[in-house]
Every structure is written in structure tokens, then in C-alpha cells.
Structure 1
């Protein structure tokens, strides 16, 4: 009987960067026995070195053609990798726990685009790996575009060397006003109680302090959070290259709701405002270099959060994409 095995396959949306396909796409070998969920999980465990090498080379791996049908199945797949879970403390997106270590990806309305960002780049403790799972494929739109961070850094450094130099010197300050409760009408609508996993202001202050976040309580029960200065450019030790590790474009163009004004949400680390024309041009570069594939039911996407930024396109429901964060 043939053994179960994984092989790299191709989809039309991939791009080549330095002769490496982005993202890598992995499917069942044609010579494999038909995959069951338990066989897929066992194969992940036995072929993890192969998967790790593909992830390190490409930055993102799409698993397609495997029998992953429910949130519970997805949780089993995430567990099979053996990565430690990262609690979602300090993130901005409104999210609900579904099962185990699986959450909804973002509860914001479907007509809203979520701009490119590294997950939780605005706090010191961020996930190194992200999993996404398509439980219900979108009627239309709703892709999760991804882009290689070092490519963005290289293009920005070439076009705006002085701006990038200032970013490297000063970093960024992120400012966000949170209500008490979650606001699902906003892509950054997570209230302070779920952000810090408590209803106690003193406990919230303690947990914020551990993240390096300063809190200023407001009369309406909300709170102003100030994070930074925090580096906007990092060095990826494992790949030996600089990366564009920040949520600058997402904050400047998308942190908008009844409480927040995007232009005030992010500044240089010295408090000076960012040049809007450069931020918007960076957004164009992100779009130019990105790839977006239509989700198919059962798809699992593994993303190296240091190597890759991600976003979300607007969509026509139904769509259900779930996520899991790993240390």
C-alpha cells in the first residue's frame, strides 16, 4: 500500500520571488492512499521537518485538498503541529472563540477591507505563526492577501531611504481608544475588557504594563491606549534580512471608527506625524507585491508572521474564515 505523503503543487495565483514560489502550496501526493483527517494529522506529525523547511523557504504554506471540514477538525490540525498557543491579549480585532484554540478571524463587517499588517505588530509579544482555515468559502471576494515583508522593506528603502531611516531610528507609537465592550461594527472594535481579558481596571493596567501599553481612562468608561515607541523594522535572524514589521498602513488608513481618527492612531516614535503621501504609497507597494488566492472550503494557510503581512478583502457573505495564533 502506498504511504501517505505531501507534495508541493501549483496554483495560478502564486508569484516567484528569487525563484521561490509564494506561497508554497502543499497537497496530497497522487500516489498516496486517500487522506482521512486522522491520516492528515499523522502525516503532519511525521513530515513536520518537511513542512518547516517549506515554510522557512516560502514564508507561507497553503494546504489544499485535505479533509478538514469543521472548526474542530481545524483545531486538531493546529494541535498536530505542536506549536504553543499565544493568548490573544492586546490585539485590536473583535474575535470570538469557536473551539479549543480556534477563533473567528475578524468580526468586522464584510464591506470593510482590513489593511496589511503583521499580526499584533503593535505589541511586544506577537505570534510567530498564524493559521487560517476556510470553513465556508466566500460567495465572492474575501481573500486573505499576503505579501513578503522583506520585499516591502527593500522597495520602501529604495524609494524613501530617509523615511525608512527615521522609522529605524525612532520606531512608531500606536494610539487607540477602546470602549468597554466589543464593537463588531469596527475592524478595531475590541473593547478593553476583552483586550485585557478582565473587567477589573487594576488588572487591565497590570496586563497592559506587561505589554508596554500605557492606559488613560476616559470619563465614558473607555480607555486611551498608547503603545511605543516600538520598532517598525526588525531583523529576521533565521533568514538574515531586514523586514517591514509594523501595522503602519493598517493603522493610518484603517483605524477608523466612532472613537478613532486614523491619522492620530500612529506617529513616529518621537511623536511627529507620518507623511501621508508616503504611507499611501506604501499601501500601493503592498498591493503590488501581494498575492491573493480565492479561498476554497477546507483550505488551511500557515503563515510565518515575521516573514509575511496579511490583509482581508471585502466580500459578499457567506464567508467563515477561522484563525489560530501560535507563539
Structure 2
């Protein structure tokens, strides 16, 4: 059986390639069993499609639970990547986590999964079992297009950013919560010892320093870093230069020499993200596969209920 190419109203075309690529079953009522079988039969072809389009949406296969989602993930035969990050996530079954459970009224900004760590997944898969009645789209964008547009629209800023690098601080929570950055440093690094926490943060996070605060929170200091990285010959905007948290005090950025990033550069960056992003309007049973080295993702504000699961692959 073959996949049938689908079409989304919200899809866009970059460099002659549709984003994302939508694949449907050739029968009316697809099943998880059918999707698993087709993935196993067409792994090599799907890998080529992912390399070209950077994002694939499987629609019409009616994947209905985390357990069925795990079967889909395992059909690709990719090694698991355990989650490590400043967001609280629960593993609901083997290889499957709940997605970021930050309050639904908040926008989760664009990012590459686990960009704060030295090791990050090359692929990320999502399953939607309950679309929000309003909003809640998972928004995605191709990071290499961000680079090309930034270099075209504001080349001086990009050049200065690459030359000086940029610094940023991430402040952890002092009590575990469902906030966007809702994990304490003790949970994040799996230790209550500050000395061991510093050691682990250097080994696993690649930050420059850790500052522990009296209120129980901590600040991880990164940089100077070049936000643009190259993967397989493709330059991508890998590290976001706008805040990741809903609280402005939780993230702070500057050039590597400590001077502030110009508002024109930041506004241009934000405007480009808005122009090139695609808001995926979930349907129940959708599975989406992203190349995490090429695609940023985020979440639009939503009304409950909304249920999305995620799996990470090396």
C-alpha cells in the first residue's frame, strides 16, 4: 500500500518544497496497525522525504493513545533520546512523554528541542489525541529559511551576532510547577548538591556558570554562543534570541561583550518567525515528525481540553 500525498490549507512552500509534507492512507479509515506497517516498509523513503521537507504530517491513521503512538515511534527503528530540560514532563509509557504542559493560555515560543543541552534529539514526533476547541496549534518553521531571510533583511546584525556571539541566562523555578520553565535545578540535574550540580551543568548543558539564588532558584549562564549552527551543510538558526519563558525575568540576552541586542534586530527576527511559521491545526489521531536539527516548534495559546504527546529520537 502507498501513502497518498495530502494538502493542508496552512502549508507553505520554501525553495520549491512544501512544508510540512502531508501523507494520508489510500483507504478511508486508516489505522495505527496500517501506519506501523507502512513505516516499516518505507523507512528509507520516509527518511528521504524528511530530509527534503524537514516535517511530515501523518493524517488519517487514527492513532488514539500513547501506547499506539509508541508502536509508531518504534516502527522507525530510531534510538530513544531521554528528555532533559527545564520543563516538567512525565513519561506516560515507554518512550512517550506528555508535551509541555504549561498553562494553555500561554504561547510557547519557537525553539529546537533540548537546545540548552550538549546532546539533543535529531528527530521529534508528536501525537494529538485531543485537539483544542480553540487555538492550541503546534507552530513549526524551517530554521534555515530564518537564516537566509535574516541575512537578507538585516545582514549587519547577523554578522555582528556571529562575530561577538550572544549571552543568555535561564532562570529555573524554585518550586516544580507546570510553568514553561517550571523545573527546579535539583530536578533538572537530579541532585541536591550544588557542587555536583555545577559539575553536571558543565558536562550536560554546556553552560559557562551556574548561580544559585537564596530563593532556591538558579541561573544558568550561556555564551558567548553563535546561534547559527551547521548541520549537513545547512545553516540553521538553532538557538533562539528571544525569551523562551512567559516571564521576562526568567531569560535575559545580550551580545557576547555584554552590550544589548538592538531592538531592530530582535523585531526583525520576530517578524521573520511570524512570516515563515506554519500553524498546524491538529486533528485527532494526527502524528507529526520533525527534523529537530532543521525545524523549530512552539505552541499557540489554547482553550482546554488539549492532549498532545511527544517522543524524542537520537
- Bigger shift: 213-222 or 286-295? 213-222
- State the partner residue of 2:237: 244
Aligned residue for 2:175, secondary structure, equals coil
Aligned residue for 2:273, secondary structure, equals helix
User: What are the Cα deviations for residues 257-314 of structure 1, in whole angstroms up to 9, with x where unaligned?
Assistant: 3xx616x622223332211332122111111111112101111110111211111100
- Determine if contact 2:80/2:312 at 8 Å carries over to the other structure: yes
**1:74 matches 2:64:** no
**1:172 matches 2:169:** no
- State the partner residue of 2:5: 8
- Determine if contact 2:12/2:19 at 8 Å carries over to the other structure: yes
Give the Cα separation in 1 of the matches to 2:238 and 2:143.
Answer: 7
Give the Cα separation in 1 of the matches to 2:291 and 2:184.
Answer: 27
- State the partner residue of 1:54: 49
Superposition TM-score, scaled by structure 1 size: 0.89
Show structure 1 runs of 5+ residues with no match: none
Note the C-alpha offset of 1:256: 4.2
- Determine if contact 1:181/1:193 at 8 Å carries over to the other structure: no
Superposition TM-score, scaled by structure 2 size: 0.92
Give the Cα separation in 1 of the matches to 2:258 and 2:238.
Answer: 19
- State the partner residue of 2:16: 19
Q: Which residues in structure 2 correspond to 1:1-327 (within 5 Å)?
A: 4-30=1-27, 35-89=30-84, 91-184=85-178, 186-210=179-203, 211-213=205-207, 214-237=209-232, 240-249=233-242, 251=243, 254-257=244-247, 261=249, 265-327=252-314
Give the Cα separation in 2 of the matches to 1:204 and 1:76.
Answer: 36
| Number of residues of Structure 1 aligned to a counterpart in Structure 2 | 312
- Determine if contact 2:30/2:60 at 8 Å carries over to the other structure: no
C-alpha spacing 1:212/1:165, structure 2 compared with 1 (3 Å)? same
Give the Cα separation in 2 of the matches to 1:69 and 1:256.
Answer: 31
Aligned residue for 2:282, secondary structure, equals coil
Give the Cα separation in 2 of the matches to 1:46 and 1:295.
Answer: 26
Aligned residue for 2:229, secondary structure, equals strand
C-alpha spacing 1:125/1:267, structure 2 compared with 1 (3 Å)? farther
Show structure 2 runs of 5+ residues with no match: none
